[in-house]
Each structure stands twice: as structure tokens, then as C-alpha cells.
Amino acid sequence: MPKSLLRSADMKGFRALIPQSKLDQVLSALHEAGAAQFREISQEEIEREELEEGFYEINSIMGRMEEIQDFFNTTDKKTTYELEDESLENILDSTRDLLEEVEPKKEELASEKRRIEEKREEYHTQKNLLSFLEDIDVPLNYFQSTEKIEILSGKIDEDELDEFMENVRENLSEKVFVTSFGVGGTRIVVLVCRKEVVSDLRPILYRFGVEMLELPQSDKTPKQFLEELDDKLENLKEEEKQIDEKIEKIKERKAPEINALTEYLEIEVERLECLPLFGRTESTTIIEGQKLLVISLSTQSCQKPTLF
């Protein structure tokens, strides 16, 4: 590759007086060339251009389109789409029509994906919880409290287990039944007591860092419940696949229109955002900035353009 292509492009400061009637034409040309950087005009006494009425509405519509673009991932697809009428009014009308068609579908599909993700997280949490009880061959319902009896299950560090068990038996020996399960660094403790004793037990649980477990209600054993969770996770994969297929179909059909309209709106918003940087007189707009030397401001569009 020639070295000249690797050098940073030379920039030159410019100041231009543009007839009000030619402002949109000049800004569009500079934006399309991508070779100008605007800055706030240096003369403080000159009146500034104001944001046009409707800027915030256009910006809001653009934001909604960008959300659709992100959700359907249309930007990874090379597309071409041309509007016969590129006026702002027509672009906004076309965009509103597209939003009316696509946005409800996007919200529905996004809601389904959130539901699946929440369920997946719930099932994985239950799997992690029940993995400590997998070898216990009794139904999970046996670990549920009754109207008068409280059954508490929790995880405790192996190093704390013996002292914890001893502490419970010394202080609440006739009021609490306690046992433990498992091997390794984390153990499961199960405590059974009358409802009114729980308040005496909680300080001990807190002191030894017992992490309480909310076990699911089921007549299945932990192992059986874990197998059921694996089946549910597989079903979620299939549901997610079907949703992704729906997303892909919409993407294939609508990506060209989504990308084109979003780009049109982004250009318009960028143009409008530049206006407060410019100065204005009764009939002209004054702009300042930097431009690539290869770009020229046409004297047909600008009055006495000045480079400095």
C-alpha cells in the first residue's frame, strides 16, 4: 500500500457564509462527503441558529428505529434501499408506517426472549440449589414447613459445621432438631422446630453464616426434580430457536428498509444538532470548522467562502 494512503488526511479551517435557502443542500453535501468537522462560530455577538421545531420528535423516532435495528441485528446485513421521495416529510411518514408494523412484533418477541431468559435463570438457580441434596432419597415436600412446624434448610461451610451443631444443641437442645448432609467444603443443614422458636434460632444461623435455601415444593426427590429441570431447559432451547427463526424472517424481509430509514434519520438528526453551532444573519448562515483539502465549498451554494 502506498505510504500516502497511510498518512492522516490534511485538514484546513474554513468559514463560510451560506444563503439560508442553500443551507440544507450544503450540509447534506458535507455530510455525504464525511469530510467536515463543525465547531461553534468564534464571533460571540452573532445570533445563533436554533434547533428546529420537531427536532426532539425526530430524535425520538430515530431512537426507536435504532432499538429495532439492534434487536433484529440488521446492521450485519449489507442492504440497499432507495426512497423515491427523500423529503423529510416522506421519510417520517415511511418510518411511522414501519414502526406501526414492526414495533409491536419486536416488543412481543423481546418479551418472549425475556421470559425464556428468566425461566432459564430460575431453573439454573434451582439446579445449583438441589445439587447439594441430590443424594437425599426423600421427596422435597418433606422439607416444607407446616402450620405449626418450621423446617429450615441451609448451606454452611464445612469448617463451621461442628461448632454450629454444638451451639444449636447447647442452646436449643430440647426445642430444635438439627441434622446435616453431604460431604466436601459445603454442607446442608436441616433444622426442625416449632414456629415460635424460629426467632431464637435466627441469631445463631446469622452468626455462623448459614445461607438459607428456598426449596421448591414437589413430591419428587431432589434427583428426580433435577432430571425434570434438565428437560425444561431443553424445552426452553427449542422455544428460543423458534423465536430466533421469527426474528430472522422479519430481518430478511425488513432489514433494507430499517437500515435505510434509520440512516436517513441519523443524518437529519446530526444536521439539526449542528445548527446551534452556526451563526445567522437576516439572509445567511455562518458556519466554521475543519474540512479535508480535497473538499470544496461551491460558490454557487456559498457566498464568499473563506479558508484560513
Comparing 226 with 289, the larger pLDDT belongs to 226
Mean per-residue pLDDT, 47-65 = 83
Q: Between residues 54 and 6, which one has the greater pLDDT? A: 54
Better-scored residue on pLDDT, 255 or 297: 255
Tell me what pLDDT residue 307 has: 39
Q: Classify 47 as helix, strand or coil.
A: coil
The mean pLDDT value for 278-303 works out to 63
Of these ranges, 21-30, 74-83, 295-304, the one predicted with the greatest mean pLDDT is 74-83
Say what the pLDDT of residue 273 is.
Answer: 77
Q: What is the pLDDT of residue 3?
A: 36
Q: For residue range 239-257, what is the model confidence (pLDDT) as tens digits?
A: 999 999 999 999 999 999 9
- Cβ of 264: how many Cβ atoms within 10 Å? 21
What's the pLDDT score for residue 83?
A: 76
Taking CA atoms, 242 is separated from 72, 97, 128, 283, in Å, by 15, 26, 27, 59
Q: pLDDT of 79-102, one tens digit each? A: 777 777 778 889 999 999 999 999
pLDDT of residue 257: 93
Q: Is residue 105 very low, low, confident or very high in pLDDT (cuts 50, 70, 90)? A: very high
DSSP 8: P
CB 223 within 8 A of CB 121: no
Model pLDDT, residue 262 = 93
Contact indicator for 99, 60 with CB cutoff of 8 Å: no
**Beta strand ranges found along 82-223 (DSSP E):** 149-157, 176-181, 186-194, 211-212
d(CA 99, CA 86): 18
Kindly give the residue spans of alpha helices, DSSP state H, lying in 189-221: 198-207
More confident residue, 11 or 161: 161
Res 173: pLDDT: 80
pLDDT at 115 over 90: yes
pLDDT band at 2 (very low <50, low <70, confident <90, very high): very low
The pLDDT value recorded for residue 1 is: 38
Mean pLDDT of 249-275: 89
Beta bridge partners of residue 156, listed in sequence order: 187
Average the pLDDT over each of 44-48, 59-63, 180-184 and give the range with the smallest value: 44-48
pLDDT confidence of residue 33: 66
3-class secondary structure, 100: helix
pLDDT for the residue 51: 66
Read off the pLDDT of residues 187-197 as tens digits, 9 standing for 90 and up: 889 999 999 99
pLDDT at 40 over 60: yes
What domains does the chain contain, in order, with CATH numbers?
Answer: 1-49+278-308 (no CATH), 55-138+219-275 (1.20.1460), 145-214 (3.30.70.2750)
pTM: 0.69
More confident call, 134 vs 241: 241
Mean of per-residue pLDDT scores for the chain: 83
